[in-house]
Amino acid sequence: MSSNTNLQTLLLQNQKQAENYLSQGQIELAIACYKKVIELQPEHWEIYEKLGDIYLQEENFSQAITIYENAIKLNPNFSWFHHKLGEALMKLQQWEKAVSSYQRAIELNPNFSWSYQKLGETFIELSKWDLAATALRQAIKLNPEFYLSYEKLGEALTHQDNLHEAVTFYQKAIEINPNSYWSHNKFGEALIRLGKLDEAEIVLQKAIEIKPKIYFAHHNLGEVLLKQERVTEAIAKYHQAIAINPNSYWSHNLLGDALVKLENWQEAIAAYRRAIEINPNYYWSYNSLGDVLETTGKLEAAIVSYLKAIELNPEVDRPQICLWNVFLKQDKWEKAETIYRQEIAKNPSNFWLWNYLGNSLVKQRRLDEAIASYQKAISIQPNISEIHQFLGDAFIHQQKWNEAAVAYLRAIEINPELSWSNYNLWNTLERCNKLDVAVNLYRQFIQQNPDSFLSYLNLGEILTKQNQINEAIICYQTACYQQTIKFHPSLFQKKWNLTEVKNPNFLIIGVGKGGTTSLFSYLTQHPQILPPVAKEINFWSMNFDKGINWYLSHFPALPNHQNFITGEASPSYLGNWEAPDKIFSYSPKIKLIIMLRNPVDRAISHYYHWLRINRENRSLETALNEELENWQMIYKNSPLDTNYWHHGLYYLGTGIYIDFIHNWMSIFPKEQFLILSTAEFYRTPKTMMKRVFDFLGLPNYKIPDYKKLNLGSYPSINRSLHQKLSNFFQPHNQKLEEYLGMKFNWES
């Protein structure tokens, strides 16, 4: 017998033995036999494929890679080896090398859909969404009946925010394979992002029906329920998700968010702490934990939590703002300064820390040091508009008007869409004759960004200050049009003219620091309410001389034959003596909404708001006691005396609601008023908003998130001062309750 015959016999014997061992599950012996074949005949490249497959099945990926690489050396033009090498590289997360292997496989065999499929999946791992989508589209072209290609293409498109097309491909994947729980889950995720919560709920329930133990579907369904304000159901779903996957920090974190909505503070704290235990490097869990600790009065623990969030992600401003609010509550600026300096020593390049150090120094009236701190923050990050505004405010305290104007103009240059509610900003520019410079900045920005409705609004505000009313009107109209088509693109396909604009249907007339910002935000989320370009227009109180056309230019043109309404919220109207007569002469049927907050809490909130915006320099006790001392002399005048209405005592005077409401109800019939309690509004927002929608003649609408807006933080007031204020307001509150036939339960 020839040596060649003997070799062939040995090869066959070893191959047959390897197959027998495999059938018996004796993997190591099978590998040894295949290795013997390769040793006897190294060019026997078909055996490399079998040996590589065994290594893949046994998850010995490094050995699989070595085998496939050797096979490719023997047969470099066999596409399958390149494809299998790519598979082994993917298992070891060597994504770039896997891409090269799949691309070579495709080059050798351009009609093999599976290589395109795996190439697309690899690009997804690399977050190269465009390339992934291209590869997966080709896979579908070659094999249009493979559901996984549609599913993965949907995933790539979702990451590109091409959600509508992604939904189409998820639906196709489900059509081909109705039992794919993962396609249902991903489809549900896309629907959540599109805001189609009812549809998402149905799809995710189907995913759970197919595979009851699918963690992601339970988690995502919890998110749907939370967004629908079905908080108890959401909590149950998060518990189910956690039972399946106890080590999901994200489910624990969102469970905490749901518990916060029910004000189950201790359970929320436990959920956030468990999330942190699982993933101690996720900054948002520390931020959320800090929020609950702050709410429950555990300020020192909240500081620690916020500082950890800042340490983990120093570029995000949310924990920095929250930390600052804690210091506002404590009113201990030396302590705030010490903590900020300690953190700066650890992270001197964190510009937000320098910024808030500057704020704490301003509170201590150490203005030169504050300015130096703001300038340090700007040297690190020169393009944060807010810091330039703080710098301008510090210069105002030193009466350095020109330096302040330069800082404010830089703030505008960085962010022309900033709010012009900062009194110091426009007053300083006007004082320094810099309004024209600001106008030019806005004109330049608008030329490059013609859809920036906030820039048109701000330009209108400046032109109004310059008494260029006709040009300001054009800016407001343009801003309103741009805003409306941005949020309601189907409504307007053409420019509208002023004659199409009607009087507003409702006004929120008060009170300041009473929750009007939150109420207005909830209202304008209703699909049948088109908002004006600004919440507070203050026309009937402060801007009546600008003319009715100036006022109406702030409102959208309501489409004919459609049940849309509009309105605004200017708390300055309630306390203005002339406003009711003026409004009645233009809109005698208008609906009027008033939010009433406990006048003691309102006064304190008002004080701290003015302190934050640098319109108040006195201490709380000094400011309120001075008003209490002066009030008796002022109040001896009759409320019917217009001098009484111009007393200038804002903190206390604004809270004597009975006099204002009596004035309004002497002109408008009571049925045109809806009067709400701020406390009840925040306690039961869903019920209260239904009352508001009913009052306005609108169908009820679910607000996705009843988030409290424009909230301030401040320290606890001295008990004796609080009692003094309560005693002051008590007789006025009693008259109010008797007049309205309402109980507010404002405890002393």
Evaluate the omega torsion of the peptide bond into residue 511 and state whether it is cis, within 30 degrees of 0. yes
Establish if 421 belongs to a structural domain: no
pLDDT (tens digit, 9 = 90+) per residue, 330-348?
878 899 999 999 999 999 9
pLDDT of residue 647: 57
528/11: higher pLDDT? 528
Establish if 267 belongs to a structural domain: no
Query: How confident is the model over 68-94, as a mean pLDDT?
Result: 89
Give the chain's end-to-end CA distance (angstroms, integer).
113
Q: Are residues 682 and 547 in the same domain?
A: yes
pLDDT (tens digit, 9 = 90+) per residue, 575-591?
999 999 999 999 999 99
pLDDT (tens digit, 9 = 90+) per residue, 616-667?
778 888 989 888 887 777 665 555 555 555 556 678 888 999 999 999 999 9
At which residue do the structure tokens 């009692």 appear? 723
The CATH number linked to 336 is: 1.25.40.10
Establish if 356 belongs to a structural domain: yes
Domain extent for 320: 287-382
Q: Are residues 368 and 513 in the same domain?
A: no
Residue 111 pLDDT more than 90? Answer: yes
Q: What mean pLDDT, rounded, does the chain reach?
A: 89
pLDDT of residue 641: 53
Contact 283, 316 (CB under 8 A): yes
Q: How far is CA 676 from CA 170, 461, 566, 574, 710, in A?
A: 46, 31, 20, 14, 18
Residue 598 pLDDT more than 80? Answer: yes
Q: How far is CA 551 from CA 206, 420, 427, 556, in A?
A: 52, 18, 22, 11
Establish if 66 belongs to a structural domain: no
Contacts of 614 by beta carbon, 8 Å cutoff, 6+ apart? 393, 396, 397, 424
Contact 237, 225 (CB under 8 A): yes
Query: How confident is the model over 445-455, as a mean pLDDT?
Result: 94
Establish if 600 belongs to a structural domain: yes
What is the SS3 assignment for 673?
Answer: strand
Backbone φ/ψ region at 741: left (φ over 0), alpha (ψ -120 to 50), beta: left
At which residue do the structure tokens 């235990």 appear? 277
Residue 423 pLDDT more than 90? Answer: no
Q: In terms of Cα–Cα distance, which of 239, 170, 230 is closest to 206?
A: 170
363/19: higher pLDDT? 363
Establish if 106 belongs to a structural domain: no
State how far Cα 6 lies from the chain centre: 75
pLDDT band at 384 (very low <50, low <70, confident <90, very high): very high
Q: Classify residue 570 by its DSSP letter.
A: -
Backbone φ/ψ region at 331: left (φ over 0), alpha (ψ -120 to 50), beta: left
pLDDT (tens digit, 9 = 90+) per residue, 160-195?
999 999 999 999 999 999 999 999 999 999 999 998
Three-state SS sequence of 691-703: HHHHHCCCCCCCC
pLDDT of residue 477: 93
Show which of 351, 366, 382 is a domain's final residue. 382
Residue 451 pLDDT more than 70? Answer: yes
pLDDT band at 1 (very low <50, low <70, confident <90, very high): very low
The CATH number linked to 512 is: 3.40.50.300
Beta pairing, strands 506-510 & 591-596: parallel
Establish if 21 belongs to a structural domain: yes
Q: Classify residue 263 by its DSSP letter.
A: T
pLDDT of residue 404: 97
What one-letter code names the amino acid at 73? K
pLDDT of residue 498: 45
Show which of 355, 382, 409 is a domain's final residue. 382
Helix axes 333-346, 299-312, angle to 10 degrees: 30
Q: In terms of Cα–Cα distance, which of 423, 431, 466 is closest to 442?
A: 466
Establish if 714 belongs to a structural domain: yes
The domain total for the chain is 3
In this structure, the number of other CB atoms found within 10 A of the CB of residue 44 comes to: 15
Contact 596, 744 (CB under 8 A): yes
pLDDT (tens digit, 9 = 90+) per residue, 87-99?
999 999 999 999 9
> CA 572, CA 575: separation in Å to the nearest integer?
6
Range in 489-493, 605-609, 715-719 the model is least confident about: 489-493
pLDDT (tens digit, 9 = 90+) per residue, 488-530?
777 765 555 545 677 899 999 989 999 999 999 999 999 999 9
CA dihedral of 122, 127, 131, 135, whole degrees rounded to 10: 40
Highest mean pLDDT among 12-16, 57-61, 250-254, 324-328: 250-254
> CA 289, CA 292: separation in Å to the nearest integer?
5
What is the SS3 assignment for 137?
Answer: helix
Query: How confident is the model over 412-429, as a mean pLDDT?
Result: 87
pLDDT band at 136 (very low <50, low <70, confident <90, very high): very high
Contact 80, 102 (CB under 8 A): no
Show which of 321, 356, 382 is a domain's final residue. 382
What is the SS3 assignment for 644?
Answer: helix
> CA 85, CA 70: separation in Å to the nearest integer?
10
